[in-house]
Structure 1
Amino acid sequence: MAQVKLSAAGERFFGTNVTPRSFEQWIAFLRLELKKTQRKRITASHNLHSIYLRHNNPDMAEFYARADDCFIDGMPVRRLFELFSSNAGFNHRFTLMDNLPQFLMAAQREKWRIYYLGSTEHVAQKSLERIRREYPNLDMHLHHGYIKDNAAVVDNINKHSPDILLLGMGMPLQERWLLENFEQLEFGWVVQAGATLDYFTGEQAKPPRWLSAAGLGWLYRLAHDPRRLARRYLFEPWWLIAPIYRHWRLQRQENGTPRT
């Protein structure tokens, strides 16, 4: 197996300790971390939507303050990090949406136990059928995100004691649910998953990789789901101008060292 060089240590970036990683570096990071005895840790990700919510939603602010690790999954955030970072060159980004098949393959190879909580019952069932077919040796359990008996869901997660718990209920619901149930849960690492299963099954239109790499994946998604995404893509980035400016001024005052 090829060796993957891990990225540099994280930097404080909009209230979160961010380490820009490639997907391969992230898998290598998880491989090392899951060999340790420490459990119940949070790996987060940042795009413009999450930065907006981090400034406007108390649950999101608490979630990112408690995160043990954070990678970049939005091209605009990668550009911002390049602008503010003192570690030029450590500017990787990836999305679980684009890399879910590779993640499942790695989990099957590493014998990780995976639990996915989120999406609709239809999508969860459709995903399970595909996963059983394409990853027959993967230990993975799924439960839809429309929870009627929360205690039963928590018990089911703990029964399987996943190495990685994926939460796919969308922001900020998935983060709020985690905070409310954190003390009762048993897992290794928890990861934000958003609408990953919806893209995996084709329920939502997934932008081509080359379009995402060019930073235009948002335009593709907006065109296919304007009612749900118009505010996120057309309003929220403008609101972020003031926090970005404050971040820039603070960095200048501290002689180029990025801080929040």
Structure 2
Amino acid sequence: MTIQPAMHPSVFGIRLSALDESALTRLLTEPLPPGAGVRLVATANIDHIRHLRSDQRFRDAYANAYAATADGAPVALYARLRGVPTPGRVAGPDLFASLMHAFEVGRHRPFFLVSNVDTGKRLSAWMRNRGFAADMVASECPPFGFEKDPEFSEGLAERIREHGTTHLVAGVGAPKSEVWIHEWRHQLGDCYAFGIGAGVDFFVGSARRAPLWMQRSSLEWLWRLSGDPRRLGRRYLMDSIQFPAAIVDDLSGNWQWIDRRDA
């Protein structure tokens, strides 16, 4: 029997999946029927919530997502306090790692958008060690600002479609990953799609993830902040300030955008 991506009542306008990491992995490795289109999986953390408050294009991507998980511990905790019976936190890096181990030769043809060439090479090598031939896996490191270049984007979408991509993994940051996937979805073919961010780099070791005890203690943000304070300091400060405001919006019923879906 096919598992369906059951969704619960929304928090922050996001209808969180009822499936845990294992069940999601099984669902997201099933073959798609012809004409299914792009099935975007969103992983909501407080940075996403901040962008959702002000970015209409990001809201459109979320509104049309096939499934969404609580990536951030604060999002998962808030959902639990609101009585949403989700499985708890399903982090993007963990879901990505689970998918990577579930990919099968002859069934899956992943395409990776990476933030640096080294990560792309490491991903390809890892897949080859799993038995995937070179033509079964593709990766590309798009130039900075690629999402604003229609000509480049059109060519990239064509390469993704011609690869016969079954899983498109974008590790180039939010909200650009989700927005680009959503806005070019009609040119990408039939595939599952994910905006994983640094989770791609964590998986291959080109960036170091927080120790397990910090992950389990919801302190992963502190690990990342200490490693790159100039880039992430302002982001985490803005996130922490805007998250309570987002809760107020949600509790007061001022968050209505998810009610429509136009996929």
**1:49 alignment partner AA:** D
Q: What's the counterpart of residue 127 of structure 2?
A: 131
Q: How does 1:211-230 map to 2 (within 5 A)?
A: 211-230=214-233
Mapped contact 2:29–2:99 kept (Cα < 8 A): no
Question: 1:143 and 2:140 equivalent?
Answer: yes
> How high is the TM-score relative to the length of structure 1?
0.83
**2:45 alignment partner AA:** N
Q: Which runs of 5+ in 2 are unaligned?
A: none
Q: What's the counterpart of residue 254 of structure 1?
A: none
Q: Residues 86 and 193 of structure 1: is their aligned pair in 2 closer, same or farther, counting only changes over 3 Å?
A: closer
Using CA pairs under 8 Å that are at least 6 residues apart, name the structure with larger relative contact order, 1 or 2. 2
Q: How many residues align?
A: 246
Q: Distance in 2 between matches of 1:224 and 1:64?
A: 29
Q: Distance in 1 between matches of 2:105 and 2:92?
A: 18
**2:114 alignment partner AA:** G
**1:80 alignment partner AA:** Y
Mapped contact 2:45–2:71 kept (Cα < 8 A): yes
List structure 1 runs of 4+ shifted beyond 4 angstroms: 3-8
> Please, which moves more after superposition, 190-199 or 219-228?
190-199
Q: Distance in 1 between matches of 2:87 and 2:78?
A: 10
Q: Distance in 2 between matches of 1:207 and 1:110?
A: 34
Q: Residues 173 and 6 of structure 1: is their aligned pair in 2 closer, same or farther, counting only changes over 3 Å?
A: closer
Q: Distance in 1 between matches of 2:84 and 2:76?
A: 13
Identity across matched positions, percent: 23
Q: Distance in 2 between matches of 1:239 and 1:24?
A: 32
Question: What value does the CA root-mean-square deviation take over the aligned residues?
Answer: 2.7
Q: What's the counterpart of residue 189 of structure 2?
A: 186
Shift of 1:19: 1.3
SS in structure 2 opposite 1:45?
strand
Q: What's the counterpart of residue 74 of structure 1?
A: 72
Shift of 1:81: 0.6
Q: Distance in 2 between matches of 1:70 and 1:99?
A: 12
Shift of 1:56: 1.8
Q: Distance in 2 between matches of 1:94 and 1:4?
A: 21
Q: Distance in 2 between matches of 1:180 and 1:35?
A: 20
SS in structure 1 opposite 2:206?
coil
> How high is the TM-score relative to the length of structure 2?
0.82
Mapped contact 1:124–1:197 kept (Cα < 8 A): no
